[in-house]
């Protein structure tokens, strides 16, 4: 039987894990076996830069953290080597980065995910992974809003240019006489 100190440490880990999962808008559970330390370091850096928290976690601790929630459905996927990636703000970052990484590494596999407190399967994770990033979406929205204004400005400039052409012609004719 584990000591009281070990049990207390595990309770703290479960509480922290539960808090992180509850605060996340999305998360992905992966099987990380077979990747090198170098690849893992690069992956962690990319996830960190995208605001995604990624850590290897014991399946039992994850089970305890999701027990009694809608995410308890993920229980059957919690076996083998497991890492959990969560994002508190970006719905697609974890899925996009981890899916891209899995394509290049045969042993690295996405198991299951969640979004807004509901479990999502691999098909939904794949759809999320294909969505553009938040920055790309904002850029597109800004372009869509700016396009009519740009067109209007070009039209006004064309009218002004046309009027200036009409005003310059008589002055040139007078100078020629």
Residue 177 pLDDT more than 80?
Answer: no
Q: What is the pLDDT of residue 60?
A: 92
Q: What is the pLDDT of residues 83-121, one digit of tens each?
A: 999 999 888 899 999 999 999 988 899 999 999 989 999
**How many domains are there within the chain?**
2
Pick the last residue of a domain from 131, 146, 166: 131
Distances in whole angstroms, Cα of residue 6 to Cα of each of 13, 63, 65, 121: 11, 18, 17, 34
Q: Are residues 76 and 117 in the same domain?
A: yes
Residue 133 pLDDT more than 90?
Answer: no
Q: What is the pLDDT of residue 1?
A: 65
Q: Domain of 114: which CATH number?
A: 3.30.70.1730
Of 76-85, 101-110, 124-133, the least confident: 124-133
Gap between the Cα atoms of 135 and 49, Å rounded: 13
Q: How confident is the model at residue 168 (pLDDT cuts 50, 70, 90)?
A: low
Structural domain span for residue 159? 133-177
């Amino acid at each position: 039987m584990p000591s009281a100190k070990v049990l207390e440490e595990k309770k703290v880990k479960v509480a922290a894990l539960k808090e992180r999962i509850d605060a996340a808008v999305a998360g992905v559970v992966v099987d990380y076996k077979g990747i090198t330390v170098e690849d893992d370091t690069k992956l962690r850096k990319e996830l960190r830069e995208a605001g995604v928290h990624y850590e290897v976690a014991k399946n039992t601790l994850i089970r305890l953290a999701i027990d009694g929630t809608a995410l308890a459905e993920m229980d059957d996927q919690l076996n083998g080597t497991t890492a959990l990636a969560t994002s508190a703000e970006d719905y697609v970052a974890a899925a996009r980065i981890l899916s891209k990484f899995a394509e290049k590494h045969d042993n690295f596999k996405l198991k299951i995910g969640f979004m807004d407190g509901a479990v999502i399967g691999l098909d939904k994770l794949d759809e999320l992974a294909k969505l553009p990033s938040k920055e790309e979406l904002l850029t597109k929205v800004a372009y869509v809003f700016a396009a009519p204004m740009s067109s209007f400005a070009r039209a006004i400039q064309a009218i002004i240019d046309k009027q200036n052409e009409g005003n310059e012609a008589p002055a040139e004719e007078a100078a020629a006489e």
